[in-house]
Chain A
Amino acid sequence: MTKDETLLAYVLRLGDNALILGQRMIEVVTTYPELEEELANANLALDYIGQARLFYTYAGKLEGKNRGEDALAFLRDGGEFRNLLLLEQPNGHFGDMMARQVLFESFYLLQLEALEQCDDSQLAEIAVRAAKEIRYHLRHGAQWLVRLGDGTDTSHARVQQSITDYWQYTGEMFVADNVDQAFAEFFAGPDLEAIHQQWQVNVAAILDEATLTMPGDEWMASGGKRGRHSEHLGYLIAEMQFLQRAYPGANW
């Protein structure tokens, strides 16, 4: 893998994570339990769409094939997406949403903070901006996880189940594959082992306050980072890309 290929692959992954999670969050607009949360969810989803646009625009420039943000979002098939499996999982209830948010964002924030220091200045710049947003997201998600975990018996049981169900998708975040390794080498990218340790500490603290139990590291699913997805992604992509596919070449 060349240096250029590495950077492109890494930036695209970041874009895919942001877009797929943003799209999942958009799916639940108008279904949240309280108006304030409706507002928060739309706001946070908007951050993700904004981040996806920054990553894709940069990826398109790096690639040099005249593909802009929309070509990358709307004209690639599922197998070309490199997002984490966790993010494409179908939405459940409010507690599921908060659990996924906290598990992912506890990782993503550490990843972005490491990227602020990486050797590619443009990516570092995007990371600074995104980290600011995610820091706020994580505070919001963690507060809810604590309220649900330490709320009623029902909410405790539900959100414990959410954490348990999603746990198998967290391993993939920390397994450094060839892109992660090359990116660490060429660009002083994140050290995923160190991030994993910090993530464990941070997540344990949130779960502890929420009176929730941290699941053991048993079998972990993987595949998203190399384009091997769950069945769910195809439907998300089909819906998202409908207009661009049905009316090829049209401007919107």
Chain B
Amino acid sequence: MYTQGLDQKEQSSDKRDALESAADLEAFQKRIDAEQKIEAKDWMPAAYRRTLVRQISQHAHSEIIGMQPEGNWLTRAPTLKRKAILLAKVQDEAGHGLYLYGAGETLGTSRDEMIADLLSGKAKYSSIFNYPTLTWADMGAIGWLVDGAAIMNQIPLCRCSYGPYARAMVRICKEESFHQRQGFDIMRELCRGTDEQKAMAQDALNRWWWPSIMMFGPSDKDSKHSAQSMAWKIKRFSNDELRQKFIDVTVPQADFLGLRVPDDDLAFDDETGHYRFGAIDWSELNDVIAGNGPCNKQRIAKRRKAHDDGAWVREAAIAYGEKHATKAAA
């Protein structure tokens, strides 16, 4: 379905939002505080809607762009079983993109608009997908670390105050945890394998570790969207809390694999029960966000090309639909 029909909703909701009164806002916050789910047709502040559209569409775009780094190894997967699992995973990502665009559309922004923003560079996607997948071990590292980090971020979203998003996340999280396990399984097999395979696994961890822990976003003190999102219960835990949780869970897994986490300052703190870790080089993340990661241009160029190359197919489908609607009406 091509969703032009949805484009018109935005205007009317803008009109409503201009009338936001203190009483409306207070009543809304009360509902949030009472853990009631906000549904598509419910009144909501314009900023709440904007925040969700931004977050949900970024999430959808991340799923779609995220298909590329893994798609890069589909044709070279080392066994038929691994090929099938990886293909199923990439397919799941397309499916997640679909549910998420669907959740976004409930807020009055069409999938076409969201995709146009991705292609124009206006909308962002997770910077992690701007790193290249250089060896098969990267399929393991992405599943283990990137999906592992994504799950930490996403499980709390299953309780997000916006109903359609929360429900989409329940489905997505189930599949993500399978993805994480298959990634870890690739790493385990490599670490049990030859010296060359083990070196491949270590190299992948070296390259993916820091980008993965940066996936939780800027430190709490620098995070510009956090406080309001927490008040609206879109977000349940802070970036730093989630990052710490991820590190605490992941370091013992690296130990189990016999791999070294590339952080000389990493140490378990008996007092706090958490791992202390080294300083994060935020300038690298900022560079990637600014468009200067290793694969930013490549990823977007590929998506644009797919979109442009498919224009004649979409046009044909519409023309066919119109012709046959006319015939049916006649």
Q: Is there contact, CB below 8 Å, between B84 and A34?
A: no
Q: Is there contact, CB below 8 Å, between B310 and A94?
A: yes
Contacts of B76 in A (CB 8 A): 239-240, 242-243
- Closest chain B residue, CB of each to CB of A155: B316
Among A33, A35, A150, A250, the residue within 8 A (CB) of B320 is: A150
A70–B83 Cα gap in the complex (Å)?
11
Known: A23-B75, A70-B79, A155-B315. A32 touches B87 (CB 8 A): no
Q: Is there contact, CB below 8 Å, between B310 and A42?
A: no
Interface digits, B68-99 against A, CB 8 Å rule (1 contact, 0 not)?
10010011111111111001101100110110
Q: Is there contact, CB below 8 Å, between B317 and A151?
A: yes
A-B contact count (CB 8 A): 137
Known: A35-B98, A42-B91. A26 touches B80 (CB 8 A): no
Among A43, A239, A240, A252, the residue within 8 A (CB) of B189 is: A252
In the assembled complex, the CB of B74 is this many whole angstroms from the nearest CB of chain A, namely 5
Q: Is there contact, CB below 8 Å, between B78 and A244?
A: yes
Contacts of A42 in B (CB 8 A): 87-88, 90-91, 94
Task: Label chain B's interface by main secondary structure.
Answer: helix
Q: Is there contact, CB below 8 Å, between B84 and A49?
A: yes
Contacts of A56 in B (CB 8 A): 80
- Closest chain A residue, CB of each to CB of B136: A243
Known: A31-B302, A94-B313. A150 touches B323 (CB 8 A): yes
In the assembled complex, the CB of A251 is this many whole angstroms from the nearest CB of chain B, namely 6
A27 at the interface (CB under 8 A from B): yes
Q: Is there contact, CB below 8 Å, between B79 and A151?
A: no
Interface digits, B156-196 against A, CB 8 Å rule (1 contact, 0 not)?
00000000000000000000000000000010011011101
Within A5-42, the residues touching B (CB, 8 Å) are 19, 23, 26-27, 29-36, 38-39, 42
Q: Is there contact, CB below 8 Å, between A53 and B80?
A: yes
In the assembled complex, the CB of A158 is this many whole angstroms from the nearest CB of chain B, namely 7
Among B64, B193, B309, the residue within 8 A (CB) of A251 is: B193
Contacts of B193 in A (CB 8 A): 250-252
B216 at the interface (CB under 8 A from A): no
In the assembled complex, the CB of B59 is this many whole angstroms from the nearest CB of chain A, namely 14
Within A45-90, the residues touching B (CB, 8 Å) are 45-46, 49-50, 52-53, 56, 69-70, 73-74
B311 at the interface (CB under 8 A from A): yes
Q: Is there contact, CB below 8 Å, between A252 and B79?
A: yes
Known: A31-B302, A69-B80, A94-B310. A46 touches B87 (CB 8 A): yes
Within B302-324, the residues touching A (CB, 8 Å) are 302-303, 305-307, 309-317, 319-320, 323
Q: Is there contact, CB below 8 Å, between A39 and B87?
A: no
Q: Is there contact, CB below 8 Å, between A151 and B319?
A: yes
B55 at the interface (CB under 8 A from A): no
Contacts of A34 in B (CB 8 A): 310, 313-314
Known: A32-B310, A154-B312. A147 touches B80 (CB 8 A): no
B44 at the interface (CB under 8 A from A): no
A188 at the interface (CB under 8 A from B): no
Q: Is there contact, CB below 8 Å, between A29 and B314?
A: no
Q: Which residues of B contact A (CB under 8 A)?
A: 64, 67-68, 71, 74-84, 87-88, 90-91, 94-95, 97-98, 101, 136, 186, 189-190, 192-194, 196-197, 302-303, 305-307, 309-317, 319-320, 323
What are the 3 tightest A-B residue pairs by CB atom distance, in nearest-first order?
A33-B310, A151-B316, A155-B316
Beyond the given pairs A31-B309, A42-B88, 20 more chain A to chain B contacts, judged by CB atoms under 8 angstroms and listed by A's residue number, are A26-B83, A30-B67, A32-B310, A33-B307, A36-B98, A39-B91, A39-B98, A46-B88, A69-B79, A70-B80, A74-B78, A74-B79, A150-B320, A151-B319, A240-B75, A243-B77, A243-B78, A250-B193, A251-B193, A252-B186
